[in-house]
Structure formats: C-alpha cells, structure tokens
Homo-oligomer: A and B are copies of this chain.
C-alpha cells in the first residue's frame, strides 16, 4: 500500500499527466519555459514536506518544506497551489480523510503556520494579486518581511485564507471544507477509462463550473469568465467523449494567449489524492 505522502506525490504526477488540460502543461503539451519535466521534478521535490505532514507536523512548516523542495527545479512555480490543498488533506488523512476532519485541520492552524506560509513565498515566485488596502503590510509577496505585521495582528493561516476569498480558488477550498476537491474525487471515481482521460474530463468539468482565479489574477475576470464559458460549451457537447478534436483549438488558443487555469489544476490534484487515498481510483 502506498503511503499518504506517496499518494499525494502521485496525485501531482497524475494531474500533470492528464491530457488534454487546456492551457496547462500536460502529457502532450509543454509551455515555452515551463515543461513537463519541471512538474516531475516539482512533485519529487515536494515529497519530504508531504511526508512531514503525514508524520503529524503542523500544516505551515510541512507546507513550507514541500514548497522549498518543489522549487528545486528551474521551471519556477509548478505546484504551490496544489500543495496548499494537499498538505492539510495529507494531515487530515492521519485521522480520516473527510470534509469535517479537513475543515478542522485548517481551522486549527496558528499564527506560526501563517508565518511558515509567508516564508514559503521566499522560495518561489507565485502569481498573486494586489491585496486589499488594509492588507498591504500583509502582501504575501513580501515573504518573511511580512511576519512581524502578521504576528502583531495575530492572524492564523486560516484567517489569511479567509481574507483571500473570493479572489483565490485555493483559499476558497480552505474555508468551504474542500468541497470542490471532494466533488472532483467523486467524479474521478465515477468516470471510466485510463486515469489520464478521467483527469482531463474532471479538469474540464471543474473549469466549466467556476472561473479560474489564477486566470482572473494574471489576466482579468472577463478572460476567466470567457474560458469557463468555452469549457462549459465543450462539456455540454460531451466533447471529450464524442469529438476530442474539438478541444484542441481551445487548448491551443489558451496556450497561445498564455492563459493557464492553474487553480483548476490544483483542485484536480487534490481530487486525485482523495480518490487514491479512498481507493476509489485504482492504480
């Protein structure tokens, strides 16, 4: 039997291998400076931090370690958001991998966990938006420099995530009991065929449901909305099943425009982990 840390690493590998995943690196597509091999190395590098979480380390330090290891490759940020979902889920799996337990894990995070989270930004460049005005001293891009302000205000990592909704789809999972991650796991289990195909189908269904917040951050809300609408049309037409070729122009267009629905990929990875842990995805 694979360990929870092993399953979390495998979830990262299966996520990047799912194809077609329009706009993102996948088994059949590289971006100019961000290639499949960087994601492989990112997943391998994250393993020790994931193992810390599995051994019962606090969420913040385990996450920081996972990000530090993930960043030991030359492609830049590959799986920051996915790890922010996986680390608390791995921690929850010590007791039971359910929504209530995962919710309790994130609600019990501390100011110390928040400090580790900020330190993680020193290891890698992450695409984030400007914070609201009253949060300027807490801009995550300040990294460890923001820790004194954080401690002064006594904010836990859960508090930080709460303040990042609705602009951040990963933070939204933290405050909503990982509902889309668990839904993704159910869909992965219900789908047929090789895991790569199922991953692609679930990715597209998630993208069709809600605009990707990384796309909204890097481009704008209108772009994110347009991408979701096009994904919804493909899902409505059951394109992956009936006319896979129809997905290709969409995928190519997103890559050309540099539109990468990374948050949707993060949630897909979390769903893969849950499915593997529950034995609902057999491999």
Contacts and interface: CB of A to CB of B under 8 A. Distances in A.
Contacts of A236: none
Interface string A4-22: 0010011001100100000
Query: How many chain copies?
Result: 2
Contacts of A3: 48
A36 B17 CA distance: 9
19 contacts: A2-B41, A2-B45, A3-B48, A6-B45, A6-B48, A10-B40, A10-B44, A13-B40, A13-B44, A14-B37, A17-B36, A17-B37, A27-B27, A28-B28, A30-B194, A35-B194, A37-B283, A41-B283, A74-B283
Interface of A: 1-3, 6, 9-10, 13-14, 17, 27-28, 30, 35-38, 40-41, 44-45, 47-48, 69, 72-74, 194-196, 282-283
A37 B195 contact: yes
9 closest cross-chain pairs (CB), A and B: A13-B40, A10-B44, A6-B44, A37-B195, A41-B283, A9-B44, A73-B283, A2-B72, A10-B41
Contacts of A41: 2, 10, 283
Contacts of A282: 74
- Which residue, of A14, A37, A45, A282, has the highest number of chain B Cβ atoms within 10 A? A37
A44 B72 CA distance: 18
Nearest to A16: B40
A282 B37 CA distance: 11
